[in-house]
Structure 1
């Protein structure tokens, strides 16, 4: 039988009813990093997804780099997220929390004037989104060797709080130019200690973080996201195919619930990405593989039928189509997303997109 987007799938500890995954989507609607009742409505509306991966969620105050993003580092956050997990579970949905540290993609405004942290003191090109508007990125402070255990502990503690909040699992965000991705790539990591230089050294922090999170949750309830071809947030590497093949091969030893790969986007190619062939990583990875990156229904079916992926994560389509699974099944027209409401705001462009009648 040829698998499709509608074929059930075993993902770690869970049997998903379909392979249509809600990708993590930053929406900036959590004042003081605290999730709201409106967010509970938003996620509940989308619970027919095979799996919901929440918007990226800061694991500590140091991890914040955008206004009004949610956190998972206080008991108040736990209580707020519990409303969301309960809402999703009431609709028989499955939901993982994405654990996030932005690293250098931040600004002193978020840290009482202190510099953001990174593997190396290299400023990214571009601007930070702050409460005071767009501001140029600053040169971050390189993390000292003795600080790295505290980074691992931030992930461990956030993973523990996610469990208390009632999530079904967690996804480690090691993509899109944020802290763990910054350690992997030599364009942002020019350390000369045991966390820089060789593939093994650059992978070390991700390995330690993954082990810490697995210790909390068990490997069958942990996913991990990578963006091998990504240029977002001024990312680059001299040999991404070799690097990410190594990383993926190392991750096999964890037997994670899934690996989530962001495929090369048109914007990456425009910015000179060295594209890593998905087939190369599919061959290197032995477990369940999710892919995302501008897929439509037909391309999603094809990726699964061809064996390039086991499931497909959809982002923008889920912003505007809370009932995306039903629309795909009926080949129904899709709502068009309103990009002006993606980040911040109220229910408009968030929970008011129409369902099929």
Structure 2
């Protein structure tokens, strides 16, 4: 039996005996139950599927136990704080709202009301209630959860404040699912803030410590989609450092990430990034593998408007559609449509042969947007649809 099953079985057995025997001394204190819940969730951060599968039932039983607890139990501040931690760890807001309405919780009402508002999606109210709460003034378990919420509430308005709050979370709860969640969020925020050095450090930390997390798969998909949008990926000198970050993953994960980066960069017009990422897939894949075929597609599509135009078109035409997904067939079609129309010499070029700057300018390729825009727009819609499917679920 795994450690996750042992934790869940022990706590569920304890809760069961509490219901069977109403005596107070037969029931564990709420703060002890929540501590066991946190131990279970920490196993989720380490990739324990049993822990993940056990969590819903455990949360349900904790909620039931909390509602049956005597009012005197909640006079203990540790138990009242545990109720809020339970809520922000995935517990039922109805349970905590019931305790709040009974006026039995011995904790700052702003914390309870703000937490309930946040979980129920009333962000303005949550921001107002929690604005003056200092996470460091609270015990670490609750303080970290509150800081995590506060960071989410201010991320749209102030990236610097959100980053500082997530730093606090990581300092308060290292090695836990709370830190894992903070890292996932902070990586994307520092990317938006164009802080590559911190982005690199946090990403390395995540991949070293939480590569097996239950949430790591979804994170990797969002990571790739986001990386291609960050401005620092436009600098070729930064790419080796990105490679060093991804080297912490196994080869299969690296291939998947580089393919996502290449495709996302391609559709967003970042052709140099597309080629760099596609070349990494070539280095990590076998001949004739599905990954190699996709990398060829993305690299060729990125080169249709470069000096390698003719070679790129030929390569695109040689790629067997049967080896591509429906989305990539659409992209191949769009790339060919663009490639066959975007590089046309200006009419004046034929009359210029003196090597003057005017003649050189005339020979530059031009983009026939009137014929290629529809294809580009279709490709963009495909990317947007894929992003919707990859949105991270709330922890």
TM-score using structure 1 length: 0.30
Structure having the higher strand fraction is 1
Q: Could you state the TM-score of these two structures normalised by the residue count of structure 2?
A: 0.28
Larger Rg: 2
